[in-house]
Amino acid sequence: MKNFFPKDQREQEAALKSRLNIRLNLFFFGAFAIFTIIIVRLAILQFVEGPDLSQQEMNMRVKDVPLLPIRGTIYAAGGEKLAYSTPIQTLYITLQKDYSNSERGRQNRPEAVQFAEKLKEVFDKYGDKVNEPMTVDDIIKKMDLNFNLGNGYSPRLIKSGLNKQEMAYFIERKSEFPGIDIVEESIRHYDTDTVAVQTVGYLKKFQSMDDVAWYNPIREANASEDKDPALDYTAPELVGADGLEMYYQGFLRGKNGYKKVPIDPRNMATGVSEIVPPEKGYDLHTNINKKIQMVAEQAILDQIEWVHKNPVSGEVHPNAKTGYAVAMEVDTGNVVAMASMPDYDTNVWQSGGINSDDWSKIMTNYQNGTVTPISSGQSGHNFDSAVLLGSTIKPLSVLIGLNEGLFKTTDSYNDTGIAYFGKNDSSSVRNSGSRAYGRINPTQAILHSSNAFMVNMVGERLWRKHPSDGIDVWDEYMNEFGLGVSTGVDLPKEYLGNLNYKKAKSETVLSRLAYASFGQQAGYTTMQLAQYVATLANRGERMEPHIVNKITDENGNVIKEFKPTVLNKAEFKDAYWDAVINGMRTNVSGAFEGFPYDFARKTGTSQQAYKGVLQDNGVFIAFAPRKNPKLAVAVIIPEGGFGAWSAAPVARKIFDAYDREYGLEGIPRREEFEQTENGA
């Protein structure tokens, strides 16, 4: 084996010493490098990352507790407040010590009891004597000493609605009550005249909206690590549960303020809190005219009572218990009235909840039957608000027939009072009362409301032209007029319709088209029906309905404004429009006697079976004036009998109310109406 060391001993010692020096040099160089890195890193921590780390440390020791903003106001067209919030002063306490069932907490518990006793003395001496006085146990329960409702740093609500004497006492002696804060909050009020209550909506606690998909984006934002504290929703916070309150929740709510609470390692508040005030929510200005709205609501109730006592088609109609009406400006899309009756006083939701007695009274009529089939109650035989349209569909049926080339405006049809269709004419449909009208053209078919014409000339011929695609063709036309699709109205939970002609697969395409042609195959909401008649009045322009016309801040600055919007344009020849609109002359002289305008209208009497017996639903559509139309109205009275007698009188009162406030020719006629009322 080769020897790597010199044989001479002195040479060996010199070699070993040389190697040792090299190793020592390497060691000292390595140590120097390590210490240099440590020093540089410490410098970076102190001078570069130090401020960020300090802020993170501060964030771990300071909690932002949201202070809820005052909700914006909802105004009627005349400036009346339909929903508004009033400020109240609320006493909160942030616990300064641990009072829980821990060993330390039990030692501190007597202090909490003494604190509660001091609060009770103040409430008893200076508080209003209207409500039952709070007991010490009540106060201790609200203090949540065991942290059942919140963390140690979370403020506990002790009492809302402090009066001036209570406020002054606590402000002057705040040092005697460590941890207390007086915070301005609000309570929601609704017009006690119950104006369009289902349209306006109501509030519920955010924690009770877990199953409402509308609030999924807010829940997701709440769970985000980088959420905006100004938009942090708390569980007991009141949020919109329906109507405008829900649809415009983001605008109405405003932004949180904050109470920056320093906390110790035990998650308890310590030190002095910093308060950033909340920002008030925006205000909604609606097109709902309070006077027209109240006329519409009362007209429905009056008409329901009338059909209970007066025969329509030979019999009274005691099962008519509900009614719906929508009035929409033809040129703007503004919804000036939306009535769903019976209604109720929304103030029962004021606290964000409702007791069992109040709930039992309103559980069938708290939702808006003009946009959803879950109506204001149900008719006597449980019919909902999206009833079949009956003959009100006939103007559109004729338009479809003309546009598809199924007949011309001058063609005639021999109406014998009955129409046969199907294999070997196995099915038949009769006119109302089996009346035979003889030779009639398309315009006269609308005027006389001929079922036979619609079945043979529209339904059957459309099937022959589009055998397997007939349903799709029909549906496309319906959609162009807002039937079976969203109207675009600014309300949540809009129902798109009960489209039996698409669902009834057991029936033939011919059968479905035949019955659809005269309004016995689909049920639509009153809002859809109003948009449909407004589209007829506009000769094909489907306007987006607007309940809100603008949104402003508390200083009146416009945040958002809603302009008239055309959703789509249904193209038909002028001759077709003339023929159809000229046919909309149903005899409603009883309801419209003395009406000073030429107006287009169509009644409908759709039928639904209850235990094999057909029941009549009253439906009515109209727009006025016939030339240069201004207002479109749709009315539905389930189980009210013929539309001319059940629904048309409601529409007449709405037209008169609009004429009085705005003028169907653009000039309000208040003075003329007042002179008539005064007997002049």
| Residue 345 burial class via C-beta count within 10 angstroms: exposed 0-12, middle 13-18, buried 19 and up | middle
In a domain, 318, yes or no: yes
Mean pLDDT of 116-141: 87
Question: Are 480 and 384 found together in one domain?
Answer: yes
Per-residue pLDDT at 484 exceeds 90: yes
Task: Pick the last residue of a domain from 240, 258, 286.
Answer: 286
Q: Residues 402-424: what's their mean pLDDT? A: 95
Whether residue 205 sits in one domain with residue 303: no
Please give the pLDDT value at position 272: 52
The pLDDT value recorded for residue 465 is 97
Mean pLDDT for the stretch of residues 168-194: 86
Residue 4 covered by a domain = no
188 lies in the same domain as 328: no
Q: Which two tokens stand for residue 293?
A: 């709205």
> Is the predicted pLDDT of residue 234 greater than 60, yes or no?
yes
Q: What is the mean pLDDT of residues 25-48?
A: 70
Q: What is the mean pLDDT of residues 167-196?
A: 87
Average the pLDDT over 362-382 and give the result: 81
Do 281 and 307 fall within a single domain? no
- 178 is in which domain, residue-wise? 61-286
Is the distance from CB of 370 to CB of 336 less than 8 angstroms? no
> Does 393 lie in the same domain as 273?
no
Mean pLDDT of 592-609: 92
Q: Domain for residue 652, yes or no?
A: yes
Q: Tell whether 278 and 414 lie within a shared domain.
A: no
> How many domains, in total, are found in the chain?
2
**Which of 363, 372, 399 lies closest to 570 in space, CA to CA?**
399
pLDDT digits (tens, 9 = 90+) for 543-579: 999 999 999 999 999 999 999 999 999 999 999 999 9
Q: Which structure tokens are listed for 678?
A: 């005064």
The yes-or-no verdict on residue 602 having pLDDT over 90 is yes
Supply the pLDDT for residue 48: 59
User: What is this structure's pTM?
Assistant: 0.81
Domain membership flag for residue 363: no
Q: Looking at the structure, tell me whether residues 410 and 535 fall in a common domain.
A: yes
Cross-strand bridge partners of residue 440:
413
CATH for 638: 3.40.710.10
Percentage, residues of the chain above pLDDT 70: 88
Residue 8: pLDDT band (50, 70, 90) is low
Give a yes or no: residue 18 inside a domain.
no
CB neighbour list of residue 199: distance below 8 Å, 6 or more residues apart: 243, 244, 288, 338, 340, 368, 370, 491, 547
Residue 56: pLDDT over 60? no
What band does 34 get if pLDDT is binned at 50, 70 and 90? confident
Task: Give the sign of the dihedral formed by CA 209, CA 210, CA 215, CA 218.
Answer: positive
- Choosing from 261, 286, 311, the residue where a domain stops is 286
Report which DSSP code applies to 255: B
Q: Which residue would you say has higher pLDDT here, 525 or 178?
A: 525
Do 269 and 336 sit in the same domain of this protein? Answer: no
Q: Is 60 exceeded by the pLDDT of residue 76?
A: yes
Average predicted confidence (pLDDT) for the chain: 87
In this predicted structure, the answer to whether residue 147 has a pLDDT above a threshold of 70 is: yes
Q: Which pLDDT score, from 0 to 100, does residue 149 have?
A: 65
Look at residue 642 and tell me whether its pLDDT is greater than 80.
yes
pLDDT at 1: 47
Co-location of 322 and 335 in the same domain: yes
Verify that 427 and 446 share a domain, yes or no: yes
Domain boundary among 248, 268, 286: 286
- Which helix (H) or strand (E) segment is 361 a member of? helix 356-362
Are 389 and 524 part of one and the same domain? yes
Range with lowest mean pLDDT among 112-116, 271-275, 335-339: 271-275
Residue 6 lies in a domain: no
| pLDDT higher than 60, residue 676 | yes
Based on the fold, state whether residues 268 and 403 are members of the same structural domain: no
- Is 354 a member of any domain? no
Residue 276, domain member (yes or no): yes
Output 197 or 65, whichever has higher pLDDT.
197
Tokens of 200: 């306006």
pLDDT band at 171 (very low <50, low <70, confident <90, very high): confident
Looking up residue 97, the CATH number of its domain turns out to be: 3.90.1310.10
